[in-house]
Amino acid sequence: MTRKPRILVTRRWPEAVERVLAERFDASFNASDIAMDSAALVQALRSFDAVLPTVSDRLGASLFEDKDIRAKILGNFGVGYNHIDIAAAEARGIVVTNTPGVLTDCTADIAMSLLLTVARRAGEGEREVRSGQWMGWRPTHLIGTKVTGKTLGIIGFGRIGKAMAKRCHFGFDMDVVFYNRSKIDIAEASRLGARQLETVEEVLAAADFVSLHCPGGGGNRHLINAQRLAMMKPEAFLINTARGDVVDEIALVEALETGVIRGAGLDVFEVEPTVPERLRVLDNVVLLPHLGSATEETRTAMGMKVVENVTAFFEGRPPPDRVA
């Protein structure tokens, strides 16, 4: 590389990653750490050789219509990329990469945290103690649901789905059933105490806890809708650490309000950072601000994945995590 490529990092990243980016590239950083609007993103595509977006950046088809686009690669910070119109980027010859493999354990940990928190009503209890309203121990206070020995249903049996199965089966002696679009080797599933079912509906009907680990966008948008929520047990819980659009948020609110299901644990939402008030006021849902990968180790590893991809691209090598 004779001239350092100009790159824009759309949000603040871990300091160690920003330092490497500044050394290797002519790097600009979003010092305010406020999400960029469409006009700013269009200008970025015009002005930089590479744009490094995150899930908070909406890169729809209209952003790629500008005839003066300069960017040749989008180094996405994250595994999911349904916030990018991949077809529109490809049509303009723009490469897109992601960061798989490094956030598996931390995302599964958050899913497990949500499951335990909503089942044992820990969020309600924590708010009660902080508000000074706790009246002391009593036999009928905040009765929750036992986790050990229950049935976990997983939708999407990729890296994170498998990590969740491992935690639940070996840590909590749970039976695990799952749906995956492709067939999983029976021996591989058995090693995790899991059994593949033929349809999403079968998993929903069998599970005490349903955990979502499938990609967002496309055919998975509103995969969990009113009809499918009604197939779950009334005492069941829904856990979502995948993508917000996998769940029809309005249908979920209505299911939680009317007792169609008992509760939910959510780390992702349809239109982040907006969370509907009807959802925020419910006690039978635990809400987290997209913390799935939020550990120092994982976020740094994600950033270094982007560094590797963008470096490879500008050195004329195939980016290791190219998705388009």
Catalytic (active site) residue 24: no
List 58, 272, 278, 322, catalytic entry: 272
What is the amino acid identity at position 103? L
Q: Give the strand order in the sheet containing 26-29.
A: 26-29, 6-9, 50-52, 73-75, 95-97
Cα(302)–Cα(297) distance, integer angstroms: 9
Nearest to 154 by CA among 83, 69, 242: 242
Tell me if 28 sits within 8 A of 5, measured CB to CB. Answer: no
CB 241 within 8 A of CB 212: yes
Q: Give the separation between CA 314 and CA 190, rounded to whole angstroms.
A: 43
Query: Which of 83, 228, 243, 299 is an active site residue?
Result: 243
Residue 12 catalytic? no
Asked whether 53 and 10 are in contact (CB, 8 A), the reply is: yes
Spatial distance between the Cα atoms of 269 and 290, rounded to a whole number of angstroms:
8
Phi–psi pair at 100, nearest 5 degrees:
-80, 160
Whether 277 sits among the annotated catalytic residues: the reply is no
Q: How far is CA 311 from the centre of its chain?
A: 26
Q: Residue 24 burial by CB count (10 A; 0-12/13-18/19+): exposed, middle or buried?
A: middle
- The residue annotated as part of the active site, out of 167, 213, 290, 299, is 290
Measured CA to CA, the distance from residue 155 to residue 260 in angstroms comes to: 19
Distances (CA, A) of 195 to 157, 185, 214, 240: 11, 10, 17, 20
How many Å apart are CA 177 and CA 124, to the nearest integer? 29
- The rounded distance, in Å, linking the Cα atoms of 176 and 169 is 7
Question: CA 264, CA 252: separation in Å to the nearest integer?
Answer: 9
Residues taking part in catalysis: 243, 272, 290
